[in-house]
Chain A
Amino acid sequence: DIQLTQSPSFLSASVGDSVTITCRPSQGISSYLAWYQQKPGKAPKLLIYAASTLQSGVPSRFSGSGSGTEFTLTISSLQPEDFATYYCQQVNSFPRTFGQGTKVEIK
């Protein structure tokens, strides 16, 4: 199985900050990576697929980059509704696997 390691696991930031979350697969996965946002008690929501393609309806302050063994999710100007947990997922091979999550909290 491909393991995904996210860093940091926890992030404290203020409204307006720019934040970056990193996802590192245990082996190269080209651009076969998606990012999800999950709020407490809710289902995950797709933000980005193919490493950098923004899902329809997702604000442009979210962006993704990377390929191979290092990927990043950047939120350019953190808004109150962005405080949540973020997961990366690899879709290069089976089984699909997720990172352990990065919780973004208000400073």
Chain B
Amino acid sequence: QVQLQESGPGLVKPSETLSLTCTVSGGSVSSGSYYWSWIRQPPGKGLEWIGYVFYSGSTNYNPSLKSRVTISVDTSKNQFSLRLISVTAADTAVYYCAREGYYYASGYYYYMDVWGKGSTVTVSS
């Protein structure tokens, strides 16, 4: 079955750039049936959708982060990545990558059915 695994630094300094990669195994990031997403969860808080990328490279971002975030896909490596610039302590969170699929029945009913285990990122000097 499809599995996702996040990787990247666990500690980032304020004002620097957070970079994470999600490696897809058991499936292909080039599938036209899925969107590849990033979601984060600050300590003790709820879930926040960051955005997603399609295999073609098209993206959709949360407006609250849009000026600082880039999500990209590398089909040759079967990976997709998150880049968040100018981080502050407020960006400290567990970052999850996830696959967003859909069910069509008179409309596209999307859902996130496969998740990585999460990567804890702390922003601190």
What is the interface of chain A, defined by CB distance below 8 A to chain B?
1, 30-32, 34, 36, 42-46, 49-50, 53, 55, 87, 89, 91, 94-101
Q: Whole-angstrom distance from the CB of B35 to the nearest CB of chain A?
A: 10
Interface digits, B89-113 against A, CB 8 Å rule (1 contact, 0 not)? 0000000101000010101011111
A91 lies within 8 A of B111 (CB): yes
Q: Could you list 10 further interchain pairs (A-B, Cβ under 8 angstroms) beyond the known A43-B98, A46-B112, A49-B110?
A: A31-B107, A34-B110, A42-B117, A43-B117, A49-B111, A50-B105, A95-B62, A98-B47, A98-B49, A99-B46
Task: List B contacts of A30 (CB < 8 A).
Answer: 107
23 contacts between A and B (CB under 8 A): A31-B107, A32-B109, A34-B111, A43-B117, A43-B118, A44-B96, A45-B115, A49-B109, A49-B110, A50-B109, A53-B103, A53-B109, A89-B47, A91-B109, A91-B110, A94-B60, A94-B62, A95-B49, A95-B51, A95-B63, A97-B49, A98-B46, A101-B47
Interchain CA distance A24-B70 in the complex, whole Å = 31
Q: Is the interface of A mostly helix, strand, loop or mixed?
A: loop
Interchain CA distance A45-B96 in the complex, whole Å = 12
Task: List B contacts of A99 (CB < 8 A).
Answer: 46
Task: List B contacts of A1 (CB < 8 A).
Answer: 63
What is the interface of chain B, defined by CB distance below 8 A to chain A?
46-49, 51, 60-64, 96, 98, 103, 105, 107, 109-113, 115-118
Task: List B contacts of A34 (CB < 8 A).
Answer: 110-112
Task: List B contacts of A101 (CB < 8 A).
Answer: 46-47
What are the 4 A-B residue pairs with the smallest beta carbon separation, nearest first?
A49-B111, A50-B109, A43-B115, A96-B49
Interchain CA distance A43-B94 in the complex, whole Å = 10
Q: Considering the complex, give the chain B residue whose CB is closest to the CB of A45.
A: B115
Q: Whole-angstrom distance from the CB of B67 to the nearest CB of chain A?
A: 14
Q: Considering the complex, give the chain A residue whose CB is closest to the CB of B109.
A: A50
Q: Considering the complex, give the chain B residue whose CB is closest to the CB of A49.
A: B111
A32 lies within 8 A of B110 (CB): yes
